[in-house]
Amino acid sequence: MPSHRIVLTVAADQPGPGISRHLFGQFAEHLGSCVYDGLWVGPDSPIPNVRGFRQEAVAALRELRMPNLRWPGGCFADAYHWRNGIGPRDQRPRQRNDTWGQIETNAVGTHEFLDLCAQTGCEPVICGNLGSGTVQEMRDWVEYLNAPTGTVLADERAANGHPAPYGVRYWGVGNESWGCGGLMRAEYYADEFRRYGTYLGSYEKSALFRIATGPGLDDFHWTEVLMRACAAPRFNPGIMDGLSLHYYMNGGCPPARTQQHLLATSFGPEQWRTVMAHGWYMDELIARHSAIMDRHDPARRVKLIVDEWGAWYAPDPAPRPSAYFQQQTIRDALLSALTFDAFIRHAERVHMANAAQVANVLHASILTFGAATVRTPTWHAFHLYVPHQDARRLPVANSAALLSHDGLPYPRVSATASLAPDQSVTVTLAHTDPAEPVRIELQLAGRPAGARPVGRLLAAPELTDCNTPAAPDRVAARPWDDFRFESGRLTATLPPACLAAVTFR
């Protein structure tokens, strides 16, 4: 019998705020082999593709119901000039990508990116260049994308193959402007945001959702200044719709709270706990930034947009010579689950989030090895959370005491419950103990008898296992029915280090 027992009560008749599907977004930057090779192989590649994009990658992202994709950076966004990425592909300039020390062919530009969004069925999130661009360049890009034909820019879009306006809605006004995006002070950036934001057009099909560069990690001063200056300025109180937040559990850039040297696939109990505790720190970060936002915007009109998150490990003696390629283990799946749970706990304020990054870089859902596309344990965590997309959060009483590491708390079992529009209830359980099983008793209250639970479980044979072309499903979610369910009460023993999802219909 496990020595730990946890009692959870889900109030299924008390639906709370909506859980935006956009919390489960992804990020694709022109960095390493994320865009080139990870997603784009080109139309002439022997690797199966649709108009240049890997078929298997698109299929994997469709299965995740990826709600949005942020592009083209990251730091690269503030060095990117959109005109280099339109028109005949063979005439686009070949340039240096100085941000990441690689060659940029511009083969993936505006039209290709939006084709990828259409193929995967997601909304685009475009980050404009404030650092090295101009107001004119950024507003022209919006007009090129979104204006109906009849203007020079919209007609140019039509001539390039897309007569209908794209209707791009989510728009980042610069990226990490306190760092790679121009090393600006909060006060200076706030004025720049107001200036750029003023000229970004809203066209018929799209009311632009303007996202300001927000704080990195715990820069509460940045949040205070941005909210004071941009949450409701006189003459245009609606200019800022979102404020971003970047937090890498172990960066990298922005700096992490821990500078401990962590590797992706070789770790012991100490490093396991570091990832859990510093991962759950997202909850405190959001709470503290939100408290500042609440003072300036009690109606919560301005949303918090966590448009970069994930684990950023030190380079492993990796299977690939790139500082940004890293494998994923069950530890990363649990970090993902804790992060989702933190977002959902703050669903009133957090509207969107983007894992950094979607393929081959950092906290990736997809890894590619030549022609092979592999789904990582993080992909499986995203997949288990699909039922929470656009559902309503349900209260969960959790009897478990918090664990602690490095002076930071984290849950032994993090539980999230939601009520979907079809009235099904899904409960996800992230069990963070890597060594001991745990007994759970889950009471589904306020629900008519007769619900039937269907479960899936993600666990790994060994904690450091990962998926490869030779063993693509070593760490994969499988059907799970090793529980009892009577009178609305589910009892089960969860194995160490696992993520379970149960849907009651």
- Residue 389 CB, shortest distance to ligand AHR, in Å, is 23
The minimum distance between CB 172 and ligand AHR, in angstroms, equals 10
Q: Which is nearer to ligand AHR, 35 or 356 (CB)?
A: 356
Pick left, alpha or beta for residue 420 (phi over 0 → left; psi -120 to 50 → alpha; otherwise beta). beta
Residues that bind ligand AHR (CB under 6 A): 29, 73-75, 175-176, 253-254, 308, 356-357, 362
Nearest distance from C-beta of residue 256 to ligand AHR, angstroms: 11
Rounded distance between C-alpha atoms, residue 367 and residue 374, angstroms: 5
Q: Which residue lies nearer to ligand AHR by CB, 79 or 147?
A: 79
Q: How far apart are CA 190 and CA 250, in angstroms?
A: 28
Out of 123, 308, 348, 462, pick the active-site residue. Answer: 308
Question: Least CB distance from residue 308 to ligand AHR, whole Å?
Answer: 5
Q: How far is the CB of 213 from ligand AHR (least distance, A)?
A: 10
Cis amide prior to 328 (ω within 30 degrees): no
CA angle 86, 91, 92 (to 5 degrees): 50
The answer to whether 431 and 302 are in contact (CB under 8 A) is no
Alpha carbon distance 71, 212 (integer Å): 15
Looking at the Cβ atoms of 356 and 415, the one nearer to ligand AHR is: 356
The candidate with the shortest Cα–Cα distance to 339, out of 385, 291, 298, 404, is 385
Q: Which residue is nearest to ligand AHR (CB)?
A: 74
**CB–CB of 439/493 below 8 Å?**
yes
Active-site annotation holds for 308: yes
**Shortest Cβ distance from residue 268 to ligand AHR (Å)?**
27
Q: Which is nearer to ligand AHR, 39 or 475 (CB)?
A: 39
112, 123, 143, 176: the active-site residue: 176
- The nearer residue to ligand AHR, 78 or 341, going by C-beta atoms, is 78
H-state helical runs in 365-453: 377-384
Contacts of 396 (CB under 8 A, 6+ apart): 8, 9, 10, 11, 415, 416, 417, 427
Cβ neighbours of residue 467 closer than 8 Å, sequence gap 6 or more: 328, 367, 374, 375, 376, 377, 473, 474, 475, 476
By beta-carbon proximity to ligand AHR, the closer residue of 32 and 165 is 32
| Dihedrals phi, psi of 108, to nearest 5 degrees | -100, 110
Mind telling me the catalytic residues? 176, 308
